[in-house]
Every structure is written in C-alpha cells, then in structure tokens.
Amino acid sequence: MKKILDLLWEEMGQAFEAAGYDPALGKVTVSNRPDLCEYQCNGAMAGAKQYHKAPLVIARDVAEKLEGSRIFKEVCAVAPGFLNLKLEEEYLLEVVATMASEPKFGLEAQEHPKKIMIDYGGANVAKPLHVGHIRSAVIGESVKRICRYAGHEVIGDVHLGDWGLQMGLVITGLQERQPELVYFDENFQGEYPSEAPFTISELEEIYPASSARSKEDPEYKARAMEATFKLQNGVRGYRALWDHIMSVSIADLKKNYGSLNVEFDLWKGESDVQKLIPEMVAYMKEGGYAYISEGALVVDVKEETDTKEIPPCMILKSDGASLYNTTDLATIMERMRLYQPDEIIYVVDKRQELYFEQVFRCARKTKLVKPETQLKFLGFGTMNGNDGKPFKTRDGGVMRLENLIRETQEEMYRKIREGREMSEEEARNVAGLVAVSALKYGDLSNQASKDYIFDIDRFTSFEGDTGPYILYTIVRIKSILTKYGERQKAESGSVEGLAFAKPENEAEKALMMELIQFNTVMCAAAEEKAPHRVCAYIYDLANAFNRFYHETKILKEEDPKKQEGYIALLILVRDVLETCIDVLGFSAPEKM
C-alpha cells in the first residue's frame, strides 16, 4: 500500500495535469495550520513563475478539477495561492480498512532488501555494565528491530571488549588472591577444572581493584602486562583462565541485556579477530597503503576537502603492538569475509566519531570493503543527571546498569501500588515491564545524537511523553476490548472480522488520520535509523486515541454497526501500538 501522502499527490497531480499544469506540482503535505485544513498543497505557488500566472489562478483551476473528487472532501484555493484540503471520510475509511487487511499494516516491501550488521552493546568483559553502555544497547536493539521490520536482513553483534590489558589485570589480580591456583603452575600438565575459580561478583571486584593498583604500582602494572602478553601468546593456564572469565562474564551480560530485552545474534569480540591481524598488516604493507612513520605503521587518511586535520590511522605501535583500531579494521575484514554485509552500523558514543571516521576511511582506502559497502557511525550523546552532568550515583560513582534498572523498577512498583488493587506478585511483574518502557522510551524518544537528562520522576510518570503513558493507553484499549469481547462472545461466539465504519466526529477522524501515518513513519525510521520517529508517532497516536476515548461512549453505543466500527478501530490502534513498542524493544502488560 502506498504512503498516504503519495496517494494524495497522485490525485492532486492528476488535477494539475487536467488543468494543464505539471503533475509534479501536486505534492501534498500535512497541514501546518490544522485549524484550517488537514493537508495542503503549495504547488500553485511553485508553478506561478513557470506558467506566468498568479498562483491563485492556478490554485482555482486545480480546485475546479477536484470537484467531486472521491478523495478530497474540501479543496479551497486561498490567497495567495494555497490549496487547503480536507479528506473525504468515505475515502479515509477505505484507507484504514486496507491498512488493517494488509500484512504489516500496508508497509511497502523493500525493493532491494539489504544485509545490515549492527555493532552495538560493546560491553567489556570482566567489568560490570554501567550506564554508559545503556544507550548503545537500547538504541542498537531498536534500530535492529526497525530495520528487520522494514524487511532487511539484520545481524546484531555485541562486539565484546575481551582482549588486551584488562584481561591481564584480571589474571594478575586473581594471582594475588589465589596464587595456589593450578592455572599459575607452569609445570601443570593435566586438564584444568571446568568450574571457574571465581563468581561474577568476585570478578567484578577483582578488575577495579587490580586496575587501581596498576596505576599506582609500576611493578604491578608490568606484571599485568606480562600476563597479557602470556595470554596473547597462548600460555595454557592463562588461556584456560580467560575461558573462565569469558563464560562467567557472558552469562552475566546475557542476564543484564536480557532484562532490557536486548539480544544479540553474534557474541563475537575483539579476541576473535586477533588471528587476522598479521595477514591484514601484510596486506596493507604489500598494497602500499601502510608505511612506517616514527617507528609506527600508519595509513594516511586525510582528504583534500578536509576542513580539520584528520591524523593518520595507526595500525601498529612502534613496539609492534596492535591498537583499538587495528582490531576494528580486522573486524571489518572478518565481517566482509563471513557475512558480506551491504552496510555496517556502529552504535557508539559520539565522542568516538573522529576515531570511526579514520577507521572508515582506512577501510575504504585499503579496500577492506567494497566501494558500495556503507559504513555508518550512529553516535549517541551522553545520558546526564538532573544537574546536566554525566549521570552518577548519589555518592558520585559510576552507576551500574543493574542498579539503574532496579531503582527504576522500585519507583515504578511504588507508583503502581498507589491506589491500585493488585497482588504483590502481579505488581512486581507489571512494574518490571513498565520500568523497561520508562527507561527505553526515555532514551529513544530523543534524537540519538543529542544528550538527554535521565529524570526518573518524569520517565516513570503515567502522563506526558513517556513509556508508561503509552503502555497505559494500550492497557486501556485492551480492557475495553476484553469487556466487549466477553459480552459479544456470550451473545454470538466471536469478535472476528469486524467492519470499520465511516468516522462520524472530529476525534474519530483525527484518530484515523494518525493511524494512516504508520507506513510513512516506519519507512522514515528505517531509512534514518531513527527510533525517535516511532516514539513521536505513538505519542501522537496515543493522544489521538485518548481524546477519542474521552469523547465517545464505546461500550454504551446502541447502534451495533457504529459500535462494531469503534471496536475495529480499537483493535487496529492496539495492534499498531504494540507493533511499535515491539520495535522499540518493550512490551505492555495485560493490566496495570
């Protein structure tokens, strides 16, 4: 099904043509004066020069051709040459009914579906997830779901930070605490235990302690570097410890990401591509791309049109060690080999923008990717506290994601308990679902690149532009449908196949007009990788629904045809809202 504005453009274009003008002038937009009209066309203004005519004359010519249009109920040519438009209710009904009958509410299929890889999450092994990781996970998950819904093939990769000094620090910290462990016995030949010698809480204690000590104690730091070196060179005991660190850490990460409905198709990490680095380095040297500068191996990436200095991309340090970008480049090489994506999207803190610019240029220049492969940086802003500074715990420390989720759940639980009859268990479950909506909607409703303020009071409110408000609206619809269904089933046995009815009042028409934007919004959200578009849409839709609800007696309506139409409309609104929150990555309870 075509987008509504395209359908209207078609009708308007035909009128322009019939009146002797270019049909392209018939472009229709949503009205910016909703008090005057629903849609408008400014084509007569644009055509005035071309046809040497006053815009109002053109507008009147066109309006005349639209008399009796089945699509436009009102076409007003007004000075200086605007066409103000209102939709025919009969036609609106037709569009809504078509939307309801088609798969994905009439969303147009992709002509050329793409294979897209999304690099998001970016958790670091052995370190707890902190709020800095929340945005990558929440935005990346939604972009993945939106692109999938729009018909692309999408692969999400968590791209763990699982290599380098942090692993050496954990191993050294562990050796301090438990030097007797068999992993540190160089003469040990047997099989290592399958059980890890630490729990996740111990692991999360070891890393920060070890990291802090290495900053004060150079001898200790040297030991950690030595351990990193041994690990990277395959010393058995260290490798076995690394495996334990990975499995304990990943199990915990899965749990944490899971509590936010974040799932990855691939659990790959920096370690997976280390084996490709020597080959990649040789290739870059042989191709004449990389050269030695002050002992380091670099690739120039500046371009003539640059307005600011873009430093060369360093591939190997002068001591031969690889860097963060060496790994990212090797990862691109592996992704191209294993998956041949058309597009790779990185959902990373926007402070890494320049870094990714270097990596992308280097990958293009060295032909690690095809000329048509798209590399996209989706940089996000900082999540700030009420003071406008990066979000911290009350005592100024880094907030762990787990605690942030728990605090939001507690707040939600408190609000749900207030004035509601609900068992303890149910209230806990509902609070869990609603808290996820509060966190995610609070984040996703902002344009990703902007900073935003994490305001727990506002995010958990049932009123305003919030996740809980959207869920509340869905639950309200569900409860009306349940009541209707129970009555209907008792009488006739079924509530399927209800017919829509022509809108009879302004609120009902406005609701239908919001609904039919779905196609346009979902396309734009996928095109622009912009979950905030979906948020803005469901907020408008929920508002339109609530206005309709307050003005309409749904269950008390006596005309059965009319009531059937209301119910059909409610079902569609519910389904559209639920589809939208699903692509945002949260879901609604049955009651709340």
> Which spans of this chain sit near ligand ARG (rule: CB under 6 A)?
119, 122, 124, 159, 161, 328, 346, 348
Q: How far is CA 559 from CA 35, 342, 566, in A?
A: 31, 54, 11
Closest to 474 (Cα-Cα) out of 378, 558, 401, 541: 541
If the CB atoms of residues 155 and 348 are measured against ligand ARG, the closer one turns out to be 348
Rounded-to-integer distance, Cα 76 and Cα 91, Å: 18
CB 346, min distance to ligand ARG, A:
6
E strands present in 451-530: 452-453
End-to-end alpha-carbon separation of the chain, Å?
35
DSSP 3-state of 500:
coil
In the block, tokens 């052995």 appear at 126
> Residue 224 in contact with residue 214, Cβ under 8 Å?
yes
Instruction: Please state the φ and ψ torsions of residue 248, each to the nearest 5 degrees.
Output: -65, -45
Rounded-to-integer distance, Cα 265 and Cα 339, Å: 13
Which residue type occupies 121?
G
> What own/partner pairs with CB < 8 Å and gap ≥ 24 does 45-54 have?
45/80, 45/81, 45/82, 47/16, 47/21, 47/22, 48/81, 50/22, 51/21, 54/81
If the CB atoms of residues 268 and 478 are measured against ligand ARG, the closer one turns out to be 268
Q: How far is CA 67 from CA 62, 95, 161, 423, in A?
A: 9, 21, 65, 61
In the block, tokens 């109002």 appear at 56
Closest to 58 (Cα-Cα) out of 38, 77, 75: 77
Neighbour order of strands in the sheet with 72-78:
28-30, 39-41, 82-87, 72-78
* Crossing angle of helices 43-51 and 55-65, rounded to 10°: 120
Tokens matching residue 454: 């994490």
> Residue 1 in contact with residue 519, Cβ under 8 Å?
yes
Q: How far is CA 329 from CA 1, 202, 358, in A?
A: 41, 33, 10
Instruction: Please state the φ and ψ torsions of residue 251, each to the nearest 5 degrees.
Output: -60, -40
E strands present in 387-451: none
Angle at 452 between CA 447 and CA 453, to 5 degrees: 150
DSSP 3-state of 172:
helix
Rounded-to-integer distance, Cα 301 and Cα 492, Å: 72
Closest to 531 (Cα-Cα) out of 426, 380, 413, 411: 380
CB 269, min distance to ligand ARG, A:
9
Per-residue DSSP letters for 228-246? HHHHHTT-HHHHHHHHHHH
Alpha helices in 150-259 (DSSP H): 165-177, 200-216, 218-232, 236-258
> Residue 541 in contact with residue 576, Cβ under 8 Å?
yes
